[in-house]
Amino acid sequence: MKFSDIQFHPTLQSTLDSIGFADCTPVQQHTIPAILQGKDVAGLAQTGTGKTAAFLLPLMERILRSQDAKKAGIATPPPIPVDASDPHVIASLDGDESGISTTEEGLVARSFFEWAPMNFVLVLVPTRELCEQVYENAAKFGEAAGLRAVSIYGGVAYEKQKDALRGGVEFVIATPGRLLDLYKDNLVDLKQVRAIVFDEADRMFDMGFKDDMKYILTRVPKERQFMVFSATLNLDVMNTAYQFGANPVEFNVSRDQPKADNVDDKILHVGQDEKGAFLLGLLKAHTPRQAIIFSNYKMNVPRVSQFLNDNGFPAVAISSLLTQSQRTRVMEQFKGDSDKNILVATDVAARGLDIKGVDLVVNYELPDDPENYVHRIGRTGRAGAKGLAFSLVSDRDVDALSRVEGYLKHKVNVDFLEDEKIPKDYTKMQSDRSQKDFSREFEGRSGAGGGRDGGRSGGGRGAGGGRDGGRGGPRSEGRAEGGRSEGGRGSRGEGRGRTEGGRGGRGEGRASGGAEMEAGPRPTPTPMDARGPSPITPRDPNAPMPVRPPKGARPERGERNAQGKHGNGKASPNGRDANARTEKNQHRKGGKPQKGGGRPIPVGAQKSVGQKVAGFFKSLFGK
């Protein structure tokens, strides 16, 4: 069927003629009539078959017919009531089932019921790149007809999006997260939605947008038209549609063949370390005009891109690690006329992106989800052109390969590269492991580390080159001598330690009395039999037990003061006489002993406050 047979609005048909749209693809041929009739639609078709135009063009036709009917004062018909007895699935798409009415009444029947200036169509997409692509198509199709569109996604400023919404638009193409942000700021009125489209709905579910989609569906009118399109639809998506009152007619254009016929996909069995060489061999052997290399890991994308650039293949990389402005610039370079004709990407570029001229796709790793395999290889072979896809399969990809072949319901063809096509002399790819030199972690154990590593492991914070004395020199004096040393809180070169060497190093300990321990490796324990006799003299088992004095025989208080704590007038352990110590204590207390050895009378209680303070500091610092 041709687009001219549908009899679009003259302005819209003129735009299609100018851009060369003549023949409808199968998904367009069978979904456009249902959408023009106001029915809910679920379209399942292979990648690259024109699903975006399949919902944009009929919705634009409906809006234009509504505006014309309002200007002419013609009453538009109410929406078609949903008949639950109608079959949901069209099993066969052969024959003429268009059902397109081109009479004057039929053209008016395409209109939305009571379309208002603030009404709009909402298109939800999973990724920013797909959002921008759908917006570009909407702007291209609707520019001549005066239909306005806005793209709403995160990573960019709000102001431009807010200004477009305030001015009024007919199409809002958005990712769920940013749309809800603007809705909560009262900048988007979801009650004005007349039709809602979920593009790549299964991918939105996989990305965790299921709750957001349900939140949006509960706030749009129940009379809205519902559409969902994807190359792979799962049961969860359809259950959500039915849960919120949709009754979509399902069009399965793929006919249980997920992969397009014009894409030739093959696998190469390689070693994990050989993937780089085989990738270079494929690019040299096929010399693609544009190629996309897919990786499962966003940290792997810059490595592969740098590897290709180092070996003479200009490449750009895109992943979620980039900001939105960087991602936009990368896509412009890849789509433009620059020499950057190779794109290394994660699955962020696997959904919906229509890049004309991509004739080679390489899976550096097979995806864990087999549906992503279909979307990846669908980036080539667009609009009926021939495409080629290779997958590098190592022992790590065996399980993923079995899932892919189970989903496709057939074995993927195995290909090989001749030895002469595999380069031998090339710049190696950076290892996926960190290039950190772990030897530094152990340098400090010798006591001479100069940085953080040395300080932590035996060289300390005293005299190194790191923070506060480098954490590098030895913790030589530890905290042995107490107080803050000459370094104090001095310069960074001498540290902030409490001794001469800063805080000192663990390698030389915190021995009491300032004793230094030798820095270096921890000594090997000495065997028990080589340690010699213990310095503690063992007790003689034949010696008599010491006799405890009888109870009640303790000396009087005065006698204790005269004899000392150890009794019998013996000297105290520090070598001082007990009587001398008693006199000293009496001198400190400032009192005189009573007769009979009683407690001295405190004289300090009779001193003034100033005398007490002066006496305190004299006792603390000396005279």
Least confidently predicted of 391-395, 471-475, 542-546: 471-475
* Rounded CA separation 582/599 (Å): 11
Is the domain of 246 the same as that of 267? no
- The number of residues making up the chain comes to 623
Q: What's the average model confidence in pLDDT over 82-90?
A: 44
Nearest to 66 by CA among 94, 22, 36, 29: 36
Highest mean pLDDT among 218-227, 368-377, 461-470, 565-574: 218-227
Average pLDDT, the chain: 74
* Rounded CA separation 335/312 (Å): 20
Instruction: Select from 252, 276, 301 the last residue of a domain.
Output: 252
Tell me how far CA of residue 384 lies from CA of 25, 49, 61, 256, 341, in angstroms: 10, 8, 26, 19, 21
Is the domain of 220 the same as that of 304? no
| Residue ranges of E strands in 346-471 | 360-363, 387-393, 413-414
Is the domain of 19 the same as that of 108? yes
pLDDT band at 377 (very low <50, low <70, confident <90, very high): confident
Is the domain of 135 the same as that of 169? yes
pLDDT band at 502 (very low <50, low <70, confident <90, very high): very low
- Structural domain contains residue 93: yes
Res 520 pLDDT > 80: no
Per-residue pLDDT, 542: 64
* Rounded CA separation 523/508 (Å): 12
pTM, entire model: 0.57
Is the domain of 26 the same as that of 164? yes
Tell me how far CA of residue 28 lies from CA of 23, 194, 214, in angstroms: 9, 21, 27
- At residue 474, φ and ψ (nearest 5 deg) are -70, 150
Render the burial of 284-294: b for 16+ CB within 10 Å, e for the rest.
Answer: eeeebebbbbb
Per-residue pLDDT, 549: 58
Per-residue pLDDT, 200: 84
- Structural domain contains residue 561: no
Percent of the chain with pLDDT over 70: 65
Mutual angle of helices 10-19 and 51-72, in 10-degree steps: 150
Q: Are 13 and 3 in contact (CB under 8 A)?
A: yes
Per-residue pLDDT, 616: 84
Per-residue pLDDT, 623: 57
- Token reading at 509: 């300990």
Q: Are 62 and 143 in contact (CB under 8 A)?
A: no
Count: domains in the chain = 3
Range of the domain at 70: 3-252
Res 303 pLDDT > 90: yes
Higher pLDDT, 493 or 78: 78
323 exposure class (CB count in 10 Å sphere: 0-12, 13-18, 19+): exposed
Res 541 pLDDT > 80: no
Is the domain of 247 the same as that of 268? no
Is the domain of 232 the same as that of 285? no
Q: Are 497 and 503 in contact (CB under 8 A)?
A: yes
* Rounded CA separation 74/387 (Å): 49
Per-residue pLDDT, 384: 66
- Please write the tens of the pLDDT for every residue from 224-262: 999 998 877 778 888 888 888 888 888 887 655 566 677
Is the domain of 234 the same as that of 267? no
Residue 438: helix, strand or coil by DSSP? coil
- Please write the tens of the pLDDT for every residue from 26-62: 889 889 999 999 999 998 877 677 889 999 999 999 9
Is the domain of 281 the same as that of 144? no
Q: What's the average model confidence in pLDDT over 10-29?
A: 90
Is the domain of 104 the same as that of 40? yes
Is the domain of 303 the same as that of 333? yes
pLDDT band at 526 (very low <50, low <70, confident <90, very high): low
Per-residue pLDDT, 468: 42
- Structural domain contains residue 231: yes
Task: Tell me the CB-side half-sphere exposure of residue 353, using CA atoms within 13 A.
Answer: 24
Is the domain of 32 the same as that of 170? yes
Per-residue pLDDT, 361: 93
Residue 507 CA to its chain's centroid (Å) = 41
Per-residue pLDDT, 537: 57
**Residue 187 belongs to what H/E stretch?**
none
- Please write the tens of the pLDDT for every residue from 456-476: 434 444 333 444 444 444 343
Nearest to 466 by CA among 414, 503, 427: 503
CATH number, position 326: 3.40.50.300
- Structural domain contains residue 457: yes
Per-residue pLDDT, 140: 93
Per-residue pLDDT, 567: 45
Per-residue pLDDT, 34: 92
- Structural domain contains residue 550: no
Res 405 pLDDT > 70: yes
Least confidently predicted of 121-135, 211-225, 270-284, 428-442: 428-442
- Structural domain contains residue 616: no
Phi-psi region of 101 (alpha: psi -120 to 50; beta: other; left: phi over 0): beta
CA torsion angle for 522, 523, 525, 529 (degrees, to 10)?
A: -170
* Rounded CA separation 370/8 (Å): 38
- At residue 424, φ and ψ (nearest 5 deg) are -105, -35
- Structural domain contains residue 182: yes
- Token reading at 280: 């270079």
- Structural domain contains residue 51: yes
